């Protein structure tokens, strides 16, 4: 039996459970109905360990092994809203690069809304596990790679948006360089154990990125090197 079927058997995936999460996100201020639909469509219980499946539709972050976490659904929804609504004059976002695949959940949510999603992960076991999971779920518009994401993925760039899901003390220049002229980089900025803020940086040729703070968050650190 595949993972979905097995967990469906223990009643974790009822539409009611998922809709409760969507209602909670709506109440917390997420208002893009397409984003809420994507959250309703992606089976978050498939992105966590079976032992944790009963908590998959709570609005909280959960451990995914290797000291890393799957982000809180509210934060995933918020970052997704920032990405998909970042196009100039309502221009749709066609191509996104994510740094920090982790469980693959954020990439899966984005894949419902953006034609092409590229995602990078520096921890081997997470990269392979999430790659397999995304394939099993049939999300064919996501390309994954096991690599230190600090250099981005220039062969496929530039990207309409870059999303970083680990806290950066400074934003790597290569990532800024791979955002299209006028596009955004979205991610948490701050020290690993200090204050961190989710921010958007609008990147325009010949100018320093324009930073806008969104809200306080807590993320695992952006680290260098593969392991």
Chain residues in the site for ligand SAH (CB under 6 A): 68-71, 99-100, 102-103, 105-106, 120-123, 126, 148-150, 165-166, 220, 222-224
Q: Name the active-site residue from 61, 71, 103, 111.
A: 71
Closer residue to ligand SAH, CB minimum distance, 93 or 108: 108
Least Å distance, CB 87 to ligand SAH, is: 22
DSSP at 167: B
Kindly state the smallest distance separating residue 16's Cβ from ligand SAH, in Å.
24
Q: Is 17 exposed, middle or buried (0-12, 13-18, 19+ CB in 10 A)?
A: middle
Instruction: Report residue 189 as tokens.
Output: 């900025």
Q: Residues 132, 52: contact at Cβ < 8 Å?
A: no
Identify whether 71 is a catalytic site residue. Answer: yes
Smallest distance, ligand SAH to C-beta of residue 191, A: 14
Residue among 22 and 117 whose Cβ is closer to ligand SAH: 117
- Residue number, 86 or 130, with CB nearest to ligand SAH: 130
Question: Least distance (Å) from ligand SAH to the CB of residue 160?
Answer: 18
- Which residue's C-beta sits nearest to ligand SAH? 102
- Say which residues have a Cβ less than 8 Å from residue 206's Cβ, sequence separation at least 6: none
- Give the tokens for residue 35: 């984003």
Q: Which helix (H) or strand (E) holds 110?
A: helix 105-111
Q: Are 52 and 62 in contact (CB under 8 A)?
A: yes
Q: Where are the beta strands (DSSP E) in 110-177?
A: 116-121, 142-146, 159-164
**Which CB, 149 or 183, lies closer to ligand SAH?**
149
Question: Which residues have a catalytic role annotated?
Answer: 71
């Amino acid at each position: 039996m595949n993972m979905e079927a097995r967990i469906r058997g223990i009643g974790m995936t009822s539409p009611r459970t998922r809709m409760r999460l969507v209602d909670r996100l709506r109440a917390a201020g997420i208002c893009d109905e397409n984003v809420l639909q994507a959250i309703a469509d992606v089976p978050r219980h498939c992105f966590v360990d079976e032992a944790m499946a009963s908590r998959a539709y709570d609005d909280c972050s959960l451990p995914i092994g290797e000291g890393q976490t799957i982000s809180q659904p509210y934060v995933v929804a918020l970052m997704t809203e920032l990405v998909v609504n970042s196009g100039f004059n309502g221009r749709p976002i066609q191509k996104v690069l994510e740094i920090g695949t982790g469980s693959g959940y954020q990439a899966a949510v984005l894949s419902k809304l953006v034609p092409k999603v590229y995602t990078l992960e520096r921890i081997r076991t997470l990269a392979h596990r999430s790659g397999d999971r995304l394939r099993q779920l049939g999300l064919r518009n996501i390309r994954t790679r096991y690599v230190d994401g600090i250099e981005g993925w220039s062969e496929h760039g530039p990207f309409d948006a870059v999303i970083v899901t680990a806290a950066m003390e400074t934003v790597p220049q290569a990532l800024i360089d791979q955002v299209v002229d006028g596009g955004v980089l979205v991610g948490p900025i701050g020290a690993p154990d200090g204050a961190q803020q989710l921010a958007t940086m609008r990147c325009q040729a010949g100018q320093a990125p324009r930073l806008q703070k969104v809200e306080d968050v807590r993320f695992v650190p952006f680290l260098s090197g593969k392991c």
